[in-house]
Amino acid sequence: MELTHEQQVRYNRHLILDGIGPGGQQRLLKAKVLLVGAGGLGSPVALYLAAAGVGTLGIVDGDTVSLANLQRQVLHATPDIGMLKVDSARKHIGLLNPGVKVQAYPYYLAESNAAELVAQYDFVIDGSDNFATKYLVNDACVMARKPCCVGGISRYSGQLMTIVPGSACYRCLFPSPPPIVEVQTCERIGVLGSIAGLLGTLQATECIKYLVQAGQLLTNAMLTFDALTMQWQRIELNKNDDCPLCGQHPTINELKEYAFQPCSKRK
């Protein structure tokens, strides 16, 4: 596939970059990435993957844009309040890079649709705001042998890990979700908006690295960041042979959706 003149100009900094070049850019243009959530994490992911030229972005989110979202969800703007986030995302991605195809799914990821959605994409990024969806993304991707990057933010900190077939999965570290009564949501404790930008950008970077086959992925490890101390910590992980999902004797053989309400709907 020959790049058009417009593509050669738009992606020039990739084309001259060691590790990407014309071949890597062509892989990006052919790639299909599924983004679960178009909020705080999903906003920078969507913008940077669109800018990079990822050919197809699937975006799953059943929520609408609210005024309270705009402190951190930079994919959306004030005129978009009340609009479905997937429609707002499609609009702004189109303005940034009209060559990117956006497949909008105006509903939440669930056990009834996760397997079918994940199967259609080359890489999956979790940008959700709840543990139930994170486990669903992890489980669906492990079962389908699809790579994914799971991220989370809270207050002034964030964490992420990348999972590929054969690596440690989210359940290797956290075998089951915490009780819902113990979960502190962003509505209750707050979150620094720029943390979402920082962690989401890293998730986009992991996805691009995977697609162009450059560098070392954040597999068998979890990266955490504390903005108050400006400290990073990389926690090395081993694949857990007793993992209920990917261990030697798995007990989880089908997708199960844990009860949850999206952050925007909680009281």
**How many beta carbons lie within 10 A of that of residue 137, not counting itself?**
28
With bands split at pLDDT 50, 70 and 90, how would you rate the model's confidence at 1? confident
Q: Does the pLDDT at position 261 exceed 90?
A: no
- Give dist(CA 243, CA 48) in Å, integer: 33
Q: What is the mean pLDDT of the chain?
A: 93
For range 219-243, the mean pLDDT: 96
Condensed to tens digits (0 to 9), the pLDDT of residues 193-212 reads 999 999 999 999 999 999 99
Q: Does the pLDDT at position 254 exceed 70?
A: yes
Is the alpha carbon torsion for 70, 73, 79, 84 positive or negative?
A: negative
Q: Does the pLDDT at position 183 exceed 70?
A: no
- pLDDT score at 177: 85
Condensed to tens digits (0 to 9), the pLDDT of residues 136-170 reads 999 999 999 999 999 999 999 999 999 999 999 99
With bands split at pLDDT 50, 70 and 90, how would you rate the model's confidence at 181? low
- pLDDT score at 257: 81
- Residue spans per domain, the chain: 31-262
CA quadruple 259, 114, 146, 105: dihedral, nearest 10: -120
- Residue 36's nearest CA partner among 202, 174, 149 is 149
- pLDDT score at 266: 40
Going edge to edge, which strands form the sheet with 231-236? 101-105, 56-60, 32-36, 123-126, 148-154, 157-163, 221-226, 231-236
- pLDDT score at 265: 46
Q: Does domain 31-262 have CATH number 3.90.1150.10?
A: no
- pLDDT score at 187: 64
